[in-house]
Amino acid sequence: MKRPVSAFFVIVITMIDNKTLSDIYDRHHHELFVYICGFTRMPEVAEDFLHDAFVRLIRYSQKYPLDPTNIRAFLYRTARNICIDHARRNKKLNISPLEENLKSGGGDPQTDLELRELRGTVDSLVDARDQLSRSVYLMRTELDMPYQEIAGALNISERTAKRKMSSMLEYLADSLEKAGFKLFMLILLSLLAILFVIYR
């Protein structure tokens, strides 16, 4: 967070007050929570991380003056770092896929099952990508944020945000296509094996 130049020598730093903190929380907590959920896929853990991110903001305000234009970027950056730290500490971060929270595919159990399998595949594919691509993907798909806002929140250029999103979707489309082909071939081979056993 950049320090105002005018206050080079005399900077009066006061800890963020309750009202300001409450306003900031109200403004940013939902998108942050969803963003963290995209990483952790566990709402309880996401809530803890959200709390940690705001505590870091409070501690920062004890040492340095807050720049209102950068609070959002600070929170996103902090949340992402917390998620990365947690993922490093606990490799089994994505053990709960939040099945109960997923949208229903339309009532048809077969379709729901296929959709869940598809989302599971997408999750594993997304997890394999870098943190910045994941962040852009989550903000775009989950929060429907325009690229300009994504760029501001992640402190990257808009062009980079677009490139990351396109790259991620190309990768998903390609991987899903290949996964579908592999499944088709697997089923086909299984059928041939069954027929061979029956008619032998």
Partner 1 sequence: MKGTVTVKSHISHKALARYIAGTVKERHRGRIAEHLAECGRCRSRHGKMIAAIAPRYSMLRASEAAKVRVLRSRDRLAEDETARTPSGLRSLLPQHPRAVLAGSLALAAAVVAAAVLLFRPPVEEVRPYLAAANVDGGVVINDRPLIDRERVFEGSAITLPEKTSARLEYGRGFSITLIGPALFTVDRLMSRGDSEPVELECSLRQGILVSDSGGTRTVAYAYNTPGARIEPTGTEFLLQSAGGATLVVMKTGSVTVKHGASAERVTVAAGSRCMVKEKADVSKASPEDLKIFDSMDNLRDGAFERQILKPEPLVKDNNLKQPLRTPRPVVRERTGDNAMGRIQPDAPSDGNRTARRDTVTGPSKTGSREQERINKNKKLLREARQAIRQKRRTPK
Least Å distance between CB 71 and partner 1? 14
Segment lying near partner 1 (by CB under 8 A), choices 38-46, 66-74, 81-89, 187-195: 38-46
Is 128 among the residues that bind partner 1 (CB under 8 A)? no
Tell which positions 145-174 bind partner 1, by CB under 8 A. Answer: 162, 165-166, 169-170, 172-174
Say which residues have a Cβ less than 8 Å from residue 114's Cβ, sequence separation at least 6.
105
**Cα(first)–Cα(last) distance of the chain, in Å?**
74
Nearer Cβ to partner 1 (38/152): 38
Instruction: Provide the minimum distance between the beta carbon of 188 and partner 1 in the complex, in angstroms, as a whole number.
Output: 19
Q: For tokens 């691509």, what's the residue?
A: 133
Q: Does 60 bind partner 1 (CB under 8 A)?
A: no
* Residue that has been written with the tokens 């947690």 in this structure: 86
- What is the Cα–Cα distance from 199 to 123, expressed in whole angstroms? 41
Buried b (16+ CB within 10 A) or exposed e, 61-92: beeebbeeeebbbbbbbbbbebbeebbeeeee
Q: Taking CB under 8 A as the rule, does residue 22 contact partner 1?
A: yes
9 binds partner 1 (CB under 8 A): yes
The answer to the question of residue 132 lying near partner 1 (CB under 8 A) is: no
Q: How far apart are CA 80 and CA 93, in angstroms?
A: 14
* Residue 123: closest CA among 84, 94, 166, 164: 94
142 part of the interface to partner 1, by CB under 8 A: yes
Q: Which residues bind partner 1 (CB under 8 A)?
A: 8-13, 15-16, 18, 21-22, 25-26, 29-30, 33-34, 37-38, 41, 43, 46-47, 50-51, 54-55, 58-59, 62-63, 98, 101-103, 105, 115, 118-119, 121-122, 137, 140-144, 162, 165-166, 169-170, 172-174, 176-177
